[in-house]
Amino acid sequence: ILPCTGDITKDVLGLFDASTDAPGWLAADVWNDGESRPSASEIDEVIVEKGAGAAEQLPPVLVKDYFTVAQKVLAQCAQALSDAEPTLTEYDTIVGDGDCGITMQRGAKEVLSRLESKALRVDNPVNTFADLADAVSASMGGSSGILLELMFRKMSTSLQSVSGDGITPKDMAVAFRNGCEAVSFYGGAQEGSRTMLDAMFPASAAMLAGDGADIPASASAAQKGADATAAMTTAEAGRSNYLSEEVLMGTPDPGAVAVALVLGTLAKAFA
């Protein structure tokens, strides 16, 4: 292709093998069969035994009976979400691509499975939300799976940085708010965009107003927000963004419905 003189193979390969500090073009190692394979790094490999190093310091939990409550609530919410698959699928078939119900059910079943196998920790909210993020990441596809994973991870890191005596219900409410904002930031939607945020943000506001203790008010706000999406004639994000007013009118956003369902189940568990 290029007009060259001399031994092109030797010249070009020599340039390829030349030393360089460029991070995107690392020099190649030459290896022959029968020899020890050279390391890709000049730094000797360090093998750390499992359990070595300082243990992660978690803030104390000041939520009464957190272990028992978390185990019970997560199982009930996951089961309710799984059972709602037909309804969510019906709504998403009209205003989406039809996979919301199945996607949510997969995530819910993964949570139930990990609770049963004790792979989902309920000793501390920091661990619980980190493990929920892992469960969502492993089982849910689509944008909803990605955004929910980001929300749970943000909630976990938010609670990890709690100062004072420990994690309180108010801290949990603040973490939920931070998680909602992460969904908004990375998903590009706001309240009023006809997405799950139309249930999340009102629920978060009600939860903060009650310092994390008024779960029924939060669930009620989420339900009102989800119901309101049925009257929204335009969508600013997601598959619904491409649909006409006639198609959207009368059908609520399935993501918002799922959020309201989970918070409603949460409220019943605390009743």
**pLDDT surpasses 60 at 46:** no
Q: What is the pLDDT of residues 115-161, one digit of tens each?
A: 999 999 999 999 999 999 999 999 998 888 999 999 999 999 999 99
Q: DSSP secondary-structure letter at 229?
A: G
Q: What is the pLDDT of residues 233-268, one digit of tens each?
A: 665 565 555 455 565 667 899 999 999 999 999 999
pLDDT at position 213: 86
The whole-angstrom separation of Cα 252 and Cα 261 is 13
Three-state SS across 250-268? CCCCHHHHHHHHHHHHHHH
Lowest mean pLDDT among 78-92, 183-197, 233-247: 233-247
| Domain architecture of the chain: domains with CATH | 66-270 (1.25.40.340)
Burial string for 155-178 (b: 16+ CB within 10 Å, else e) reads: bbbbbbebeeeebbbbbbbbbbbb
Average pLDDT score over residue span 214-228 = 96
| Structure-model confidence comparison of residues 31 and 208, the more confident one | 208
**pLDDT surpasses 90 at 96:** no
Lowest mean pLDDT among 12-21, 96-105, 111-120, 146-155: 12-21
- For 67, residues 6+ apart whose C-beta sits below 8 A from its C-beta are 122, 123
pLDDT at position 146: 93
| Beta-bridge partners for 167 | 61
pLDDT at position 4: 61
CA triplet 255, 124, 120: central angle to 5 degrees? 60
**pLDDT surpasses 70 at 51:** no
pLDDT at position 33: 60
- For 170, residues 6+ apart whose C-beta sits below 8 A from its C-beta are 208, 211, 212
